[in-house]
Structure 1
């Protein structure tokens, strides 16, 4: 179980012992795209999505669980209290995986989570001034952010 860390603003995040995508996959193998597609079709558990989000101050501050589910904070809190696990639908699960993948990729590119989160929240010239975090929930936006992270990783960027 990850340790809890307090922040200045009173938001509590968990120090991740697993990567964001591992948290969503909850111990299942996820080394091929076809497996990921199958898992998103089955739907991720809301609790796993909340755990993944709780490892990031940036993700907590931007209420990503609401952006992923399309539901209000109160509804998400009510669903989280259900005795049976609540599963996201295919679209919600795909968006959750996109957020996990981008965070993980950015951490690998920038070398630390604070640097990755700092990059994700600032307007980017290559993205025509858009903030990477705000593009991820759109399939095309996600691909553009991933492509740019790959370019940075390989030293081919503007």
Structure 2
């Protein structure tokens, strides 16, 4: 029994440590860039908060969406489409031109989702759990699924705030 309690405390400490790491802009955005395959195409996020802005403004390749889809472990194509606000047909067109660039809006939505997924992974411990969380109704979100709120900037902010509350043990 004592071992379980100790293991639980270690797990909580490692989760808090992981969340604290994600408060570091540079580390967080490196993980986001990894999900999108940004560095694989020779681009860099930069070392300051404007780095992501300039990266997205300069355009990221269409294949970033394919890379993100390939990194998903539980979520299906429908959920990815919903999370980034692109239809299957649009994704298919982008797939045919992997070196083309996403629009600023498309790149921004893909970046936001990858950032939220990174944060949720830190909170829940595994990417699989994080992906499942996006698709389950949440009490603190008025029984709405987090993924359903990603259609507006206000919804994204609500999901970010809720994840932060979960990270620090405020569940309602």
TM-score scaled to structure 2, two decimals?
A: 0.69
Q: Secondary structure of 1:22's partner?
A: helix
Query: Is residue 57 of structure 2 the alignment partner of residue 41 of structure 1?
Result: yes
Aligned 8 A contact 1:40 1:93 in 2? yes
Partner residue, 1:79:
94
**More helix per residue:** 2
Alpha-carbon displacement from aligned partner over 1:10-38 (angstroms, at most 9, x marks no partner): xxxxxxxx844323261213443311111
Cα deviation for residue 59 of structure 1 reads 3.8
Cα deviation for residue 60 of structure 1 reads 3.1
Q: Residue 71 and residue 133 in structure 1: after superposition, are their counterparts in 2 closer, same or farther (change >3 A)?
A: closer
**Distance across 1 between alignment mates of 2:157 and 2:63:** 26
TM-score scaled to structure 1, two decimals?
A: 0.75
- Which 5+ residue runs of structure 1 have no aligned equivalent? 1-17
The structure with the largest alpha-carbon Rg is 2
- What is the Cα-based RMSD across aligned positions, in Å? 2.4
Aligned 8 A contact 1:95 1:137 in 2? no
Q: How many residues align?
A: 139
User: Which fold has the larger relative contact order, with Cα–Cα distance below 8 Å and residues 6 or more apart in sequence?
Assistant: 2
Partner residue, 2:158:
144
